[in-house]
Amino acid sequence: MQPLYHKHSLKVFNSLSRKKEAFTPIKEGYVGLYVCGPTVYSNVHLGNCRTFMSFDTIYRYLLHLGYKVRYVRNITDAGHLENDADAGEDKIAKKAKLEQIEPMEVVQKYTVDFHRTLEHFNLLPPSIEPTATGHIIEQIEIIKEILDKGFAYEVNGSVYFDVQKFNESNDYGKLSGRSIEDMVANTRALQGQSEKKNPQDFALWKKAEPTHIMRWPSPWGDGFPGWHIECTAMSTKYLGEQFDIHGGGMDLKFPHHECEIAQAEASKGKSPVNYWLHANMLTLNGKKMSKSTDNNIYPSELFSGENKLFSKPFSAAVVRFFMLQAHYTSVLDLSEEALDAAEKGYFRLLESFSTLEGLSSKEGIENDPTIEQWVNRCYEAMNDDFNTPILIAQLFEGVKIINLINDQKKTVSSEDLVLISQTMRTFFFDVLGLFDSRNSDAKQEGQLKGLVELLLKERSEARARKDFQRSDEIRDAIEALGIKLKDTKDGTTFSLS
């Protein structure tokens, strides 16, 4: 049986060409996908989650089409300076000083948080998840190549990429649409960057001052890598000098991705990526998410309902469904009204699966061509640059078909009924990565009840031996969790809030 990619022509919006292009991988049947991962110095926020969720859906659809995908998503655990500039402190080292712990403790703490949060949203793990600190040697080797080609220079133990020299034979700014002339005209000299030849130049390697915690030996002295060189080293190591798709947030297009292209072209003499895909930002109540203005919310606060912005909690499945209702390249605004609407739609789709199980087909009738047409429209949506909102609209069309059959206003063959069920399940669970939160909620509630019953048994035993202090301690601990107890002559009952 031929893989589905032979049947379906996929188009993607390439940020480099600024248009939709037919997707043709470098090697038939195989896709190399690289996505810029998090800088692990704080809890992952919802905007980041949206980006990773978008590429998880893209990854899932490529797998569904039958491609063998090597998905690489890195962890930035060093080298990312404040304000994305070449001056200031390393974000992780700064957090380590604030919390008075080792930088790698910061990395471990927030990497664990990152993974746990993405598990809540049902994201598939990447094929490879390399770290910047694990690839210092590779970064140094690429910097050597760039120096040898004459596109970089060393000053006082730091190495900088020479943007203007590179631009003489290449096109720096082609991804973001910026011209070097405009960059030069709009640049003011910045304090602390005087050792650069030009303000546009960026660091490949930075000299570590005596107080800098994270440092490695190099041919230019002790230092640490620039943020941009890390992704170039990790992507080319695992996907080759040229690979199919590079993804990330829209905010990374310049300077990060622009610099990645320049580094790869300077060292290898070829463009590193065929298709650049960028996910857009998430806003909150019509405004940019910002900690400073308190217009910010973390996933855990949304799940628990413990926040000042929303009147009730929302499950991870509902939040995922909400995010997939907008195209990954468009700005999406998070609000309680939008989440309420998404919740209703999500449960309506879930209910259709229960209805599906009770449907029966009719023998002796021909297949309905409109069913196959509906299936094709589902694929057409995803083939058009992974258009999840159009796909979801088609799934609701599927719900209408299911309800017509259930109300005996439409009859279908057994083959069509199987096709409807397979299509709904494939796109809802496998491609969109959605799941039945009711099952997980019920399981968690069952586990919680079991633990409470165990504690109540211990409390009952404490009271029987007249250890009232221990009995009261257990009661207080249970009630502190928001669980209400009621003592009766027949025993103790409880209710989960």
Exposure on the CB side of residue 71, measured as CA atoms within 13 A: 21
Q: Is the model's pTM score more than 0.85?
A: yes
Q: Which domain holds residue 374?
A: 283-431
Q: Does 36 share its domain with 96?
A: yes
Residue ranges of the chain with per-residue pLDDT less than 70: 82-85, 187-193, 291-292, 439-449, 482, 495-497
Q: Choose the final residue of a domain: 376, 406, 431.
A: 431
CA angle 384, 350, 352 (to 5 degrees): 90
Q: Does 13 share its domain with 140?
A: yes
Largest CA distance in the chain: 88
pLDDT digits (tens, 9 = 90+) for 301-316: 999 999 999 999 999 9
Q: Does 215 share its domain with 257?
A: yes
Q: Choose the final residue of a domain: 279, 306, 322.
A: 279
**Residue 493, token pair as written in the block:** 């009952």
Q: Does 18 share its domain with 118?
A: yes
**Residue 110, token pair as written in the block:** 């927030």
CA-CA distances (angstroms) from residue 412 to 23, 353, 394, 406, 423? Answer: 36, 17, 19, 11, 15
Q: Does 171 share its domain with 184?
A: yes
3-state secondary structure (DSSP) of residue 32 = strand
CB under 8 Å to 359, separation ≥6 — which residues? Answer: 402, 405, 406, 417
Separation CA 204–CA 228 (nearest Å): 7
Q: Does 335 share its domain with 451?
A: no
pLDDT at res. 84:
67
Q: Does 293 share its domain with 251?
A: no
3-state secondary structure (DSSP) of residue 287 = strand
Query: CATH code at 302?
Result: 1.10.730.10
How many beta carbons lie within 10 A of that of residue 145, not counting itself? 15
Separation CA 277–CA 251 (nearest Å): 12
Q: What is the dihedral of CA 270, 38, 336, 283, to 10 degrees?
A: -50
**Residue 71, token pair as written in the block:** 């998905």
Alpha-helix runs per DSSP H in 179-331: 180-185, 227-239, 258-268, 299-304, 316-324
pLDDT digits (tens, 9 = 90+) for 268-280: 999 999 999 999 9
pLDDT at res. 442:
44
Q: Does 367 share its domain with 398?
A: yes
Q: Does 357 share its domain with 460?
A: no
Separation CA 16–CA 18 (nearest Å): 6
Q: Does 74 share its domain with 177?
A: yes
Query: CATH code at 49?
Result: 3.40.50.620
Q: Is the peptide bond prior to 225 cis by the omega test (within 30 degrees of 0)?
A: no
Q: Choose the final residue of a domain: 391, 414, 431.
A: 431
How many beta carbons lie within 10 A of that of residue 336, not counting itself? 13
Q: Does 272 share its domain with 408?
A: no
Q: Does 379 share its domain with 295?
A: yes
pLDDT at res. 440:
57
Separation CA 232–CA 252 (nearest Å): 14
pLDDT at res. 464:
84
Domain count, the chain: 3
